[in-house]
Amino acid sequence: MSKKVKEYAAISAEPVKSFFVSMLTRDIHLEDAILDLLDNCVDGILRSASNESLNGSEPYKGYWAEIDFSKDSFSIRDNCGGIPCKLHDYAFRMGRPHNRPLDTSGTVGVYGIGMKRAIFKIGEHCWIESKNEKDEYCIEITPDWIASEEDWSIPVKSATVKEEGTTIFVKKLHKGTMALFGNDKKAFSKILHDKIAEQYAIIIDKGFSIKVNGKTIEPLPTELVFAKDDSPQAIRPYIFKAKIEEVDVFLTVGFTSPIPSNNDALDEQESPKYSSQNAGWTIVCNDRVVLYCDRSELTGWGVAGIPRYHTQFIAIAGIVEFRSNDASRLPMTTTKRGVDASSTLYLRVKDKMREGMKCFTDYTNKWKGQTDESKKHFDKTKTEQLSLARVKEKVKELTLNKTQNVEGEQYIPKLPKPQKETSDSIRRIMFTVEKEKIKPVIDYLQMDQGSDPSDVGKQCFTLVYEEAIS
């Protein structure tokens, strides 16, 4: 007699809603979650604006987003076209279904978690009002909905919305959010303000207006020195452009200002013209800055013959712009606030980043100790500082050469070289001392209080030399 086979009930593999909510928000900072909501505003523009306006120099002009927060609530509203009804089944789901309609060119939503993650990071009770073309509706996400493991559907109600766009209002904030929006409001406002000014610099520069608690954000774009004339040894940035894996790449690196003296580089606080915060690499994906002024190995510093970042390189900055109709091809992380270092596209472009950077680290090393002479070259060639958009315009006037290791075109500037020192007759003397020891020496030498420390050092040497040979 055969043994009866025992039957088992099927195991439920349904997702746990509370797990999604807690895990989605764990690895993202509050300010980055808010930037995700701003990304949605810009994506709304790209969906609703005409191709003609998007191809202009200010494609975001006339569009705005306003963020307001307090210890009790958070809101963001925009006039960026709203959320189309056809995207309801996708905009409010956890993740990105495979059958989602193709996104509009230039949008950055890849994983289908940005808006939901931001809302859950901020609080537990949310209203969303949106108007798109003829549709006006309201959606409410409640604490009961979050707590319910069975009900995944969200009711949509008809509503009267004044203008085309979206408003997200969140209350019942999490304790951590309440602390940042309340007692730490001033500090958090500065963090958020600075991040928007940096990471939305290009978008704001192209016409988009962003306000935080009523204050308009001014952009902080990277601007590179570019000689106006075409004289030999003109101070200009390195340029590389290519189309790789269906992604348009534009890379430029150069000087943000004349190279500083040793004393300027060592004392950033007393030389506001120079700041390490403005040096390094900025990575841009479809107009969004995903990495700002990075000075680490991630962008090539201290790797493959490139020196580690030091304040002597404080005037060197670069920008890499990646553009694609398919955002999944862009080398950015799921938070859209970082670079995917393992991306084959990024690794190929990183070689050109190092190549371009070496032009300017070599220049800085060669002119070390002769910064006054170096600055004369900047003055001779009548340089101007250009944003990324203006550099791209200027490239049309340059002759670019084909590249071999990475297929594309590039422009390598012929930077001026210092006159060679005669090793038998000239030596460079360099040293540093504590700042408080310089003032009494200035007084002793009867020099002006504003004298450059290098001039103080020269005067000291001259005085001792004259005594030594007398």
**Within this chain, do residues 195 and 290 fall inside the same structural domain, yes or no?**
no
Last residue of a domain, one of 216, 232, 253: 216
Residue 333 falls inside a structural domain? yes
Residue tagged 């390189």 (tokens):
313
**Within this chain, do residues 300 and 167 fall inside the same structural domain, yes or no?**
no
CB 204 within 8 A of CB 388: no
**Within this chain, do residues 248 and 362 fall inside the same structural domain, yes or no?**
yes
Domain count, the chain: 3
**Within this chain, do residues 209 and 228 fall inside the same structural domain, yes or no?**
no
Residue 203 falls inside a structural domain? yes
pLDDT one-digit tens code per residue, 366-395: 887 777 777 777 777 777 889 898 999 888
Last residue of a domain, one of 216, 232, 252: 216
Measured in whole angstroms, the distance separating CA 204 from the mean position of its chain's CA atoms is 13
DSSP state string for 447-459: --TT--HHHHHHH
Give the whole-angstrom CA distance, residue 38 versus residue 76: 8
**Within this chain, do residues 41 and 150 fall inside the same structural domain, yes or no?**
yes
**Within this chain, do residues 61 and 168 fall inside the same structural domain, yes or no?**
yes
Structural domain that includes position 205? 17-216
pLDDT one-digit tens code per residue, 45-78: 888 776 666 677 788 999 999 999 999 999 999 9
pLDDT one-digit tens code per residue, 143-183: 888 888 777 778 888 887 788 889 999 999 999 999 999 88
Most confident of 55-69, 255-269, 413-427: 55-69
**Within this chain, do residues 360 and 249 fall inside the same structural domain, yes or no?**
yes
Residue 424 falls inside a structural domain? no
Percentages of the chain per state (helix, strand, coil), in multiples of 5: 35, 20, 45
Q: What's the CATH number where 365 sits? A: 3.30.230
265: confidence class by pLDDT, cuts 50, 70, 90: low
250: confidence class by pLDDT, cuts 50, 70, 90: very high
- Give the lowest-confidence range in 69-73, 105-109, 263-267, 435-439: 105-109
Residue 416 falls inside a structural domain? no
* Mean pLDDT of the region 23-40: 85
**Within this chain, do residues 173 and 232 fall inside the same structural domain, yes or no?**
no
CB 407 within 8 A of CB 242: yes
**Within this chain, do residues 278 and 359 fall inside the same structural domain, yes or no?**
yes
pLDDT at 36 over 70: yes
**Within this chain, do residues 158 and 250 fall inside the same structural domain, yes or no?**
no
pLDDT on residue 262: 59
Give the whole-angstrom CA distance, residue 37 versus residue 142: 19
Instruction: State the average pLDDT for the chain.
Output: 83
Give the whole-angstrom CA distance, residue 318 versus residue 282: 6
Share of the chain above pLDDT 70, in %: 85
29: DSSP letter? -
Burial 280-305 (b: 16+ CB within 10 A, else e): bbbbbbbbbbbbbbbbeebbbbeeee
pLDDT one-digit tens code per residue, 172-227: 999 999 999 988 899 999 999 999 999 999 999 999 999 999 999 999 888 998 98
DSSP state string for 198-252: HHTHHHHHTT-EEEETTEEPPP----EEEESS--TT----EEEEEEETTEEEEEE
* Mean pLDDT of the region 256-273: 64
Residue 369 falls inside a structural domain? yes
pLDDT at 355 over 90: yes
pLDDT on residue 108: 47
pLDDT on residue 368: 78
Name 161's Cβ contacts closer than 8 Å, sequence gap at least 6: 82, 129, 130, 131, 136, 167
268: confidence class by pLDDT, cuts 50, 70, 90: low
Last residue of a domain, one of 216, 240, 267: 216
pLDDT on residue 309: 92
pLDDT on residue 424: 59
318: confidence class by pLDDT, cuts 50, 70, 90: very high
CB 312 within 8 A of CB 364: yes
Residue 92 falls inside a structural domain? yes
DSSP reduced 3-state for 99 = coil
Residue tagged 């050469």 (tokens):
401
Name 466's Cβ contacts closer than 8 Å, sequence gap at least 6: none
CA-closest candidate to residue 189, choices 226, 231, 154, 217: 217
Residue 425 falls inside a structural domain? no
More confident residue, 100 or 366: 366
More confident residue, 453 or 13: 453
**Within this chain, do residues 256 and 303 fall inside the same structural domain, yes or no?**
yes
Residue 419 falls inside a structural domain? no
pLDDT at 267 over 60: no
* Mean pLDDT of the region 130-145: 85
Residue tagged 């084909």 (tokens):
402
CA-closest candidate to residue 298, choices 340, 253, 331, 268: 340
**Within this chain, do residues 129 and 111 fall inside the same structural domain, yes or no?**
yes
* Mean pLDDT of the region 426-444: 82
